[in-house]
Structure formats: structure tokens, C-alpha cells
Amino acid sequence: MSALTPQSDMPTPTTDKITQAAMETIYLCKFRVSMDGEWLCLRELDDISLTPDPEPTHEDPNYLMANERMNLMNMAKLSIKGLIESALNLGRTLDSDYAPLQQFFVVMEHCLKHGLKAKKTFLGQNKSFWGPLELVEKLVPEAAEITASVKDLPGLKTPVGRGRAWLRLALMQKKLSEYMKALINRKDLLSEFYEPNALMMEEEGAIIAGLLVGLNVIDANFCMKGEDLDSQVGVIDFSMYLKDGNSTKGNEGDGQITAILDQKNYVEELNRHLSATVNNLQAKVDALEKSNTKLTEELAVANNRIITLQEEMERVKEESSYILESNRKVTKQDRTTDGHALSEARKQLKEETQLRLDVEKELEVQIGMRQEMELAMKMLEKDVCEKQDALVALRQQLDDLRALKHELSFKLQSSDLGVKQKSELNSRLEEKTNQMAATIKQLEQSEKDLVKQAKTLNIAANKLIQKHH
């Protein structure tokens, strides 16, 4: 989970920070991801009981990184297990539109991005996992084929897109586990790309590489040419791993109610975090639009300046032609008596020519600046489009989570009504049990009385028989 912070009056972030915030998911929050069988469970770190030994605070970077590694490992376990089970039940070759497969690649992408060192580029800092994946061909010669195929794909323009294509081709080869194991075993090479406490540098990375062996039982086929891997937004869909009450047939008592309440609280927390993310992205989009407007105004000022310089250049040309014509007339009239004036005119002509050259140079500089500003405008428009796509995806996920929240609330009300009915039925059964116990006691007492009467009658009969004899 990513650290979601409320809006504040902080300065507008740079483009690379906005892109990073849009691509990260919510696995950095103060929650711990764990598994209950095959379902996703979350516990807030503040609610976890402390051991007698002192533990690091939640603000400790090493503690937070360890929690992130554990969360990513558990999400990878759920994703791989769900993908294998659904693929075996489906019984056919998987393609790029299969939802569990898409979520698996998103989880793997976040695992590879965890703890990446930022590299400075022309547009700012950039984090890409394509660099570590390029090392695999040096460690495993068989990987050179897919690396060359990725570099030859015409539609890929970013390192992120090439890394996504590499993961898909490795899964098609059924060599993803082998490549990841070879990469993790060379931590001396990975240290160039990852921080010391990153997932790929710790034990969790080796565990995930071992889990990837199970994916060799599935068959996948991807068409890379028509797929846009550069602009995809990698957001983990946690709703795929939430427990559904209709899928189990156990006891319907307090256990189910507790599970539904836990899921409801998680959905509400996730809803709040996603709402904060949407608000932050909307604020960043507004800031980009304001910056775009400012650049447009500066471009208009530059255009006006270019037009002014062009007019000034035309005026200089006219003055130069007039001076030349005047010099010709003066030369024809009196070349001998007006030599001084001619030299002055030539000197002025040189000055005007030099001024014209300076104006032309300044005009070329202004044209170059205009072209650079137009290029920056296009890049900003593309960035705004990408942020709007990410915003639409997050809003869609927010609507899905709201629908799931309403469904869980309805199930909770139904469970409460069932519990009340069962309590009333239990009280009625207890009353009937008490009545039957009282009846049994009365019957036992009647039986004792009848036995006594029978004994009395037997004694009387014996006496009568004796008298008769």
C-alpha cells in the first residue's frame, strides 16, 4: 500500500513525482497483509500487540521496508495461487485479457520496483526495473532471445514497457522462475540497482522466485504488437482477493459476522485512501493545467516578440535600401566634392548591416525558443492525458469498492436478522424443554402412586383369599 497523505499547501510536485504517485499502489500504508487460508486479511499496525522486547517504531525506515516486503510477498502468494487455480479450472491457454494474469503482472512489477534506486535523467528522477532484467541474459544465455525480442518491438518507447514485455515473454517460455532465481543469486550485481533492504535483496525475493515454479503448469500466449505496455497503470485490485460469504457453507454464527465486519472496515479504509488519492491526483492535474496556461501565455509573448523583430528587420532593410540609393545619387552628382559624406554613408551602411545581422540572429534564437516551448507543451499535454487516464481508473476502482461495501452492509443486516430469529427459537425450545421435564416428573409421581395402590390391592387380595380358605 502506498503512503496516502491528505492535501496540504505544499509546493506543486514535479512531473516525475506525479508519475511515481500515480503508478504506486496502496501497499505502503500502515497495514499488514496476511493470509487466512486463500483470502486476504489486513491488520492495522497500531492494533498489533507488542511483545515484551522493544520493537522498532513504525516510523523506522527499516521497519517500514520490512513490512512492505512482507505485504508484497503475501500478495504474490495470493496472486500466484489464484492464477494457478483459475487457469487449471479454465482449462485453456491464457491471453493478456485474463484478469488474474493481469493482476499477477501488476504484483510482479511492484515486487521488482521495491527499493529501486532512482536514476537522474533530463526530466528528473526515474525508477525502472528494466535495468536489472537486462542482466539476466548475462547470467542465463537462454534469456538473450527474449531480451533481443523486447528491444526489437517497435511499439515500446519506455523502459517500463520493455520490462513488462520481458515478464510476459519469460512466462510464455516457462522460464520466469529460473531467470528470477539466477538474478536473485547475484546480489553483487543487484546492489547497483536496489537498496540494501529491497525485496530483491532479502529472503522474500528468494521465496517469491520459488513460488514462480508453479506457473510452469499453465500455458499463456500474448500478442505484443497491438498492446500498449508503456502507458498502463499498475494498480493492484484487492477486490479479487476479498472473501465472499456465498462461497462458504459453514456455521452462520459470530464467526461470519466478525469476518463480514472485518471486510467492511477494510473496504471503508480502502475507500478513504482511494478518495484521498483521487483528490491528490485531481489537484496535481489542476496544477499542470495552470502551468500549461502559463506556458501558453509565454509562447504568445514570444510570438509577439518574433513579429516585432521581423517588422524591425523589414524597417532596417528599407532604411538600408534607401541609404544605398542615396549613396548612388550622391556618387553620380559629385564624387569629388562629397567624398567625406560618402564615407560617412558607407560607415552608416555597415552599422545598419551589422544591426540587421544582429536582429536576424536574435530572430533565430527566438524561433528556437518557440520550438522548444512547443515541444514542452506537447509533453505536458501527454502527461495530462496520462494522469487523466490514471484518475479514471482509480475512480472506477472506487465505484467498485463502494458497490462491494453496500453488498457487505446488506449481508451484515441479513446475518443480524438470522441471529435474532435463532435466539427466539432457542428460547421457545428451552420453554418447551422445561414443560416436558415438569410433565415427566408428574408421570413419575403418578407411576409411584400406582405402584403403591397395586401393592395395597395385592395385600387386600391375599387377605381375602386367606379368609375364604
**DSSP labels for 42-66?**
EEEGGGSPPPSS----TT-HHHHHH
Q: How confident is the model at residue 50 (pLDDT cuts 50, 70, 90)?
A: very low
Q: How confident is the model at residue 246 (pLDDT cuts 50, 70, 90)?
A: very low
What would the grid cell of residue 193 be? Answer: 540497482
Q: How confident is the model at residue 399 (pLDDT cuts 50, 70, 90)?
A: confident
**For position 421, what pLDDT does the model report?**
85
Q: Is the pLDDT of residue 106 over 50?
A: yes
Tell me the β-bridge partners of 180: none
Q: How confident is the model at residue 17 (pLDDT cuts 50, 70, 90)?
A: very low
**For position 269, what pLDDT does the model report?**
73
248-257, Cβ contacts within 8 angstroms, sequence gap of 24 or more: 252/415, 252/418, 253/419, 256/415, 257/412, 257/415, 257/416, 257/419
This prediction's pTM: 0.45
User: Which range has the top average pLDDT, 12-21, 29-38, 67-76, 254-263?
Assistant: 67-76
Q: Is the pLDDT of residue 456 over 80?
A: yes
Region 31-49 average pLDDT: 45
Beta-carbon contacts of residue 268 (< 8 Å; ≥ 6 apart): 405
**For position 439, what pLDDT does the model report?**
87
Say which residue, 408 or 44, is predicted with more confidence.
408
| Numbered ranges of CATH 1.20.58.900 in the chain | 23-47+61-241
The answer to whether the CB of 90 falls within 8 A of the CB of 68 is no
**For position 10, what pLDDT does the model report?**
38
**For position 378, what pLDDT does the model report?**
87
Average pLDDT score, the chain: 78
CATH superfamily of 23-47+61-241: RUN domain (1.20.58.900)
Q: Is the pLDDT of residue 25 over 50?
A: no
**For position 418, what pLDDT does the model report?**
82
**For position 181, what pLDDT does the model report?**
92
How many residues comprise the chain?
469
Q: At 293, which amino acid appears? A: T
Q: Is the pLDDT of residue 243 over 60?
A: no
Neighbours of 31 (CB within 10 A): 22
- What SS3 class is residue 306? helix
